[in-house]
Amino acid sequence: MSKGYTAKDIQVLEGLDAVVKRPGMYVGDTGVRGLHHIVFEAIDNAVDEFLAGYAKQLKVVIHKDGSVTVEDDGRGIPVDEHPVLKTSALQIVLTKLHAGGKFDKKTYQVSGGLHGVGISVTNALSEWLKVEVRRDGKSYYQEYRLGKPLADVKPNGPASSTGTKITFMPRSSTFEDTNFQYEILDNRLKELAYLNKGISIDFIDERDGREISYHFEGGIKSYVEDINKNKEPLHDVIYFEKKENSIVIEIAMQYNAGYNERVFSFVNSINTVEHGTHYSGFSTALTRSVNDYLKKNKMDKMKVAGDDAKEGLTAIISVKIPEPQFEGQTKTKLGNSDVKGIVDSIVYEKLIGFLEENPAISRIIMGKCLGAAQAREAARKARELTRRKSALESGSLPGKLADCQERDPSKCEIFLVEGDSAAGTAIGGRDRKTQAILPLWGKMLNVEKARIDKVFGNDKLQPIILALGCGIGEDFDVSRLRYGRVVIMSDADIDGHHIATLLLTFFYRYMRNLIENGHVYIAMPPLYKVVKNKKVYYVYDDNEYRKLLEEIGKDGTVVQRYKGLGEMNSEQLWETTLDHENRYMKKVTIEDATIADQMFSILMGEEVEPRREFIMRYAKEAELDI
């Protein structure tokens, strides 16, 4: 027991001090995610006004100075005096953590911002915040510095409309970087427009003049069409909506010629990336509908499992619930037990009816599901063969693997190296204690265009599966991973990037948890070796190369451009790419699963034109981070 631990050691943080002291508790972190979270809090309020039936328009502006404005045409936050606290309601909302109109369900039947912190956290983590409210024919204004009001709420002239406008500058002392990323805000706003059909959203970035507007009368039906536009859809989107017990269920679904499941679930416009009871209800009903239809029409050659019924399926499950129960602070998994049964019965009723009324589409879907079931059985046999092989052979590691001596996975890393020549150089230059090298050779399988049975049987992927030791697909278990870091090391040219993308596609589709848990990295070997006055510089991109030649001058400079890893000797590869002290490496992350999924489909799918457009658009700003 700690000595001297008394009442005087207990801190009481008043008002918003707790948020400033521990921002991560309220916005997740102080990095990119937390920075954008403070904008989403303001956006969520505006969307809640739309869901309540009072707003139609949302406008978000990133200003040249880095501040952001969020404006809606809803009712406007109340400004009159609170009967108990004797302060303007507007000031209470902006300064009290658990204050708002979302607790008794009278003001808002459905809300995305359910932790009760909301806009007060945005205020707490801003250098300054300005708010204008239009209601009752008047405009009201208040300004804050570091979460504290500079003056009381005051009338600011007449107003012919209603709504709330909030402009704020994030605190540079709180966030690692206060530069808002256009793509993150744009993706969320577009998603909200899909999930709330009829809302109009304008997004303006004054820093570079970009402007875009979103309005989807088709709602999530349009969302599925957008996701599937590059994937050979097999039929028109199936859509249905029903309200039961104050819960609104919306489903849009469409099969495509691919093999990957893309089912995204939302609760009150929040992306539940870990799914939950609404997803379980959908999956159960889908599988039951397919098997019942097969049996009724004497097509049940084999039983279709849940994964079979979702092969090549793109679907959006959107539910609006008055009292959602989320598991965990991040709101990524729905826990309401009653929702599973409601979604199950609605989806079964609507889907079995659709299948019976549309025999042509039903035949396509049934053929797709039965084909998946047959492939699953082939994959099971291939999986069993792989297990037996591993058990019979001396050890289960691939012959070309140069393993490391350390057995603690957290201290180990494996480099997947393109080509035997480069792998030989890497083996000669590595730290044998902690670094393993696995050579890759030949053309890698594009798993975006292949079923899982083909993946198990592929001689290029088998060594990777065996070396990592954690299985793939439904057998995947990250606790069995033999290396804390899985590093893709390929040449810094087009072929090298292609191999890296093929490997990332494989990890994303069959070992996604590897990426989500931060185990996947991309090595960044240098492009140039520059020598001047016996001093050696390793340079990693063309911009850095040009900058170095202004700084040191071209006269007397010897430049070597590395076309591949094999051009470096073991010592050079160690000091530039393998040495913990000097190397440059990128960690692969997934900021948004929906966006990552669409990117892989564009880059690795069947359609050429979307890939060409993507490359032409982003070539100059390409990053390997996902």
- The one-character DSSP state at 232 is -
Q: What is the distance between the alpha carbons of residues 257 and 234, in angstroms, rounded to a whole number?
A: 7
- Pick the closest to residue 504 from 439, 588, 438 (CA basis): 588
Q: What is the distance between the alpha carbons of residues 335 and 324, in angstroms, rounded to a whole number?
A: 8
Cα distance from N-terminal residue to C-terminal residue, the chain: 46
Pairing of strands 528-532, 585-587: unpaired
Question: Do the Cβ atoms of 99 and 120 come closer than 8 Å?
Answer: yes
403 counts as catalytic: no
183 counts as catalytic: no
Structure tokens at 418: 């393109």
Q: What is the distance between the alpha carbons of residues 118 and 212, in angstroms, rounded to a whole number?
A: 26
Structure tokens at 12: 């009481």
Q: Which of 44, 48, 418, 453 is catalytic?
A: 418
Structure tokens at 501: 């993308």
495 counts as catalytic: yes
Question: Do the Cβ atoms of 255 and 234 come closer than 8 Å?
Answer: yes
Q: What is the distance between the alpha carbons of residues 577 and 487, in angstroms, rounded to a whole number?
A: 11
Question: Do the Cβ atoms of 491 and 484 come closer than 8 Å?
Answer: no
**What b/e sequence results for 109-138 when a residue is b if at least 16 CB atoms lie within 10 Å of its CB, and e otherwise?**
bbbbbbeebbbbbbbbbbbbbbbbbbbeee
Contacts of 210 by beta carbon, 8 Å cutoff, 6+ apart: 182, 204
Q: Which of 493, 571, 579, 625 is catalytic?
A: 493
Q: What is the distance between the alpha carbons of residues 412 and 553, in angstroms, rounded to a whole number?
A: 41
In the sheet with 247-255, reading across from the earlier edge strand, the strands are 238-244, 247-255, 313-320, 262-267, 270-271
Q: Which of 72, 413, 491, 597 is catalytic?
A: 491
Structure tokens at 181: 């990323």
418 counts as catalytic: yes
Q: Which of 183, 393, 477, 495 is catalytic?
A: 495
Determine the 3-state secondary structure of 271 from DSSP. Answer: strand
Positions marked catalytic = 418, 491, 493, 495
